[in-house]
Amino acid sequence: MKKYISLITALLTTFGAMAGTAYAESDPAESILSSMTLRDKAAQMMIASFRVWQEVPAEGEEKPEKEPPKENITKLNDPIREMIGRNHFGGILLFAENYTDAEQTIQLVSDMKETNRKGGGTPQIFFTDQEGGSINRISYSTTGISNMALGATGDAENARKMAQIHGVELALLGIQADFAPVVDINNNAANPVIGIRSFSDDPQAAATFGCAYMDGLHDTGTMAALKHFPGHGNTNTDSHTGLPLINSTYEELQAFELIPFKAAIDAGADMVMTAHIQYPQIEKGTYTSISTGEQIYLPATMSKTILTGILRGDLGFDGVIISDALDMAAVAENFSVEDTVRLTIEAGVDMLILPAVKNTNLFRLTDTYVDTAVKLVESGEISEERINESVRRILRLKQKYGLLDQNDFTAAEGQTAAAKAGIGSAAHRETEWQIAEKALTLLKNENGAFPLDVKAGEKTLILFADSCASRAGAGDLARKLLQEKQALPEGAEITVLKNTRGNGAACIQAAKKADHVILVHRVWQQDCMDPAAENGFSSGTFDRLISAVHAAGKTVILVSCQLPYDAARFPEADAILLTYWGSAMRELPAEGAA
């Protein structure tokens, strides 16, 4: 790890040496602010995202018979180049569609930075979501284990080490900011979106691990953003698909959800991301939904009470407040573009994550957001001084991390080679593996079930529930590795099966014939445990299978591969092993892959 942190330091030093002294004034941020046009300031508050290019007709134009082709944006095209050169966005957010390999990513980032510079823009902040676990945008990077798994190790230093790996790998690509850590508390089992992204259901543990993770990013010169303020853990609705509501009082938040945010703010947090969640006990302001006509409460992203009063006033945060993505259903289906811009800025948001470009209509919408902000200031609905407050914070954050000292964004000599050597390196993956092993929790172990004592000629069944059928390649990989290491006794066999709606009886018969049975189950929502639900039918098969195997005098091991709630669902299993997430592995990985 020290080797790669040193490598990043050397690269950043190189960038600094290449940089000119365009902003040599005693207060660069204030000097730049005074020279900005109103449109420059408005765009500085915007984080643009270009994910997919698809030519679609504008509103009112005739639709083609065939759907136009789609192409992931892995390099700049002329329209995007023109937009970046004209709109001096404060930041760019990269998603999975933008990443192919290290060389391509470095070129894309470099081209975007150079285009912005040539257009007269202030250096941008490049963001991505690299939380580890299920939220991992860069396919060729070190994936990292989930926050819940990090919490399960019981040692916050593991969170710091994992974050250092993420920070090193992002910096090698020229990405300066990570939308992490998630410091939400996992205090609602019905939550469909946080779950293993949370360190703990205990606020003090979430605070300790969240601060350690933030420190790990800072160790590598990477900006961190706490999310999702004031807490997304206690919801049963995903703000990507609906508008959640939490009925907690401010006093209840202070005693619980706000504890990790306060700890991280006191420890030097630079950025906080908002939550698109209604808190009617705190924010009484309402709005008429544009889609339903119903009165809804202003979500935290648009609440001056929550962002300016609580986050800035009570918690003392003076860094950059970033909205969650504004194309999430919680916002996009309820608020007009004009009101979205007005309400978020008035509430205290400094940077708005614009709807991701997935077609040319959304590309045009990016311009609309900037135009709308300018119009609202010109009409007096938002004061220019309010805009200045945000831009000043953004520029000071850029100044703190050395961005204002840079004016040459061509890839540094050796950057691609360093990135190829450092990203997903053997050293990083070994550290990841060691932390993952520490996270494994043997919750129950009776009747000598674990570890397996496989004898010559014995058969072992590994059965994957339908909810984790995409993980079945891991069973094939286990068999392959055991064979390669000659760890299986002579004649011992491993059979890997996936449970489907039609093969439940066959799976039970296979289990009865096997000498050892391992069941792999996955929960990401409550339905996964309900035999009557679309996502839960395997749990009924598992119930019958466990009974049948016990009747035959044999034992069953249950492996939980996401949320550990299935540990309570199958109490009759002889051994229960919790892993807190596993990535999809439909088939054996290619040589060198994660």
For 147-183, the pLDDT digits (tens) are 999 999 999 999 999 999 999 999 999 999 999 999 9
**Rounded-to-integer distance, Cα 214 and Cα 199, Å:** 13
User: What is the structure's pLDDT at 236?
Assistant: 79
- Just give the CATH number of 2-58+78-422: 3.20.20.300
- pLDDT of 493 > 60? The answer is yes
- What pLDDT, on the 0 to 100 scale, is given for residue 14? 44
Listed in order, the ranges of the chain carrying CATH 3.20.20.300 are 2-58+78-422
pLDDT per residue as tens digits for the range 73-127: 999 999 999 999 999 999 999 999 999 999 999 999 999 999 999 999 999 999 9
Query: How would you label 510-526 residue by residue, b for 16+ Cβ within 10 Å and e otherwise?
Result: bbeebbbbbbbbbbbbb
Q: What is the CATH number of domain 440-578?
A: 3.40.50.1700
| Per-residue model confidence as pLDDT tens digits over 521-532 | 999 888 899 999
Catalytic residues: 240, 324
What percent of the chain is predicted at pLDDT more than 70?
Answer: 95
Mean pLDDT, all residues of the chain:
93
Nearest in space to 353 (alpha carbons), one of 90, 81, 40, 73? 90
- pTM equals 0.92
pLDDT value, residue 151: 98
Alpha carbon separation from 395 to 41, 43, 318, 453, 561 (Å, rounded): 10, 13, 13, 61, 43
Question: Is the previous residue joined to 181 through a cis bond, with omega within 30 degrees of 0?
Answer: yes
Domain span(s) for CATH 3.40.50.1700 in the chain: 440-578
H-only helix segments in 281-322: 304
Backbone angles phi, psi at 479, to 5 degrees: -60, -45
Dist. CA 497–CA 510, nearest whole Å: 9
